[in-house]
Amino acid sequence: MSKQQFMQQPWSNWMKGNGPEADIVISTRLRIARNLRHHPFPMLATDSQAEEVLNKVIDASQSSAMTQLGQFESIRMDDLSALEKRVLVEKHLISPNLAEESRKGAVLLNQDESISIMVNEEDHIRIQVLLSGCQLKEAWETGTKIDDIFEKQLNYAFDEKRGYLTSCPTNVGTGIRASVMLHLPALVMTQQISRILQAINQVGLVVRGLYGEGSEALGNLFQLSNQVTLGMSEGEILSNLYGVANQIIEQERVARRYLEEHSRMAVEDRIYRSYGILKFARTVETKEAAQRLSDVRLGVDLGLIPDVSPLVLNEMLVLSQPGFLQQNAGQKLSPEQRDERRARLIRERLA
In degrees and rounded to multiples of 5, residue 310 shows phi and psi of -60, -30
The SS3 assignment for 159 reads: strand
Q: Say if residue 31 carries a ligand binding annotation.
A: yes
Query: Could you give the C-alpha distances from 124 to 86, 143, 276, 312, in angstroms and in order?
Result: 21, 16, 47, 35
Q: Say if residue 86 carries a ligand binding annotation.
A: no
Residue 95's Cα: distance from chain center in Å? 9
Contact 98, 106 (CB under 8 A): no
End-to-end CA distance of the chain: 29
Q: Say if residue 231 carries a ligand binding annotation.
A: no
Q: Say if residue 70 carries a ligand binding annotation.
A: no
Q: Say if residue 213 carries a ligand binding annotation.
A: yes
Q: Say if residue 92 carries a ligand binding annotation.
A: yes
Q: Say if residue 30 carries a ligand binding annotation.
A: yes
The SS3 assignment for 51 reads: helix
Q: Say if residue 34 carries a ligand binding annotation.
A: no
Which distant-in-sequence residues (6+ apart) come within 8 Å of 264 by Cβ? none
Q: Say if residue 208 carries a ligand binding annotation.
A: yes
DSSP tag of 209 = B
Give the integer Cα–Cα distance in Å for 60 and 106: 14
The 10 Å CB-count burial string (b at 16+, else e) for 56-87 is bbbebbeeeebeeeeebebbbbeebeeebbbb
Give strand ranges (E) for the chain.
25-34, 72-76, 106-110, 115-119, 125-132, 158-159, 163-164, 176-183, 205-208, 221-226
Q: Say if residue 165 carries a ligand binding annotation.
A: no
Q: Say if residue 229 carries a ligand binding annotation.
A: no
Q: Say if residue 297 carries a ligand binding annotation.
A: no
Give the integer Cα–Cα distance in Å for 207 and 213: 9
Q: Say if residue 273 carries a ligand binding annotation.
A: no
Q: Say if residue 210 carries a ligand binding annotation.
A: yes
CB atoms within 10 A of CB 307: 6
- Picking from 221, 338, 200, the residue whose alpha carbon sits closest to that of residue 290 is 221
Residue positions in the annotated binding site for ATP?
27-31, 92, 126, 177-181, 208-213
Residue positions in the annotated binding site?
27-31, 92, 126, 177-181, 208-213
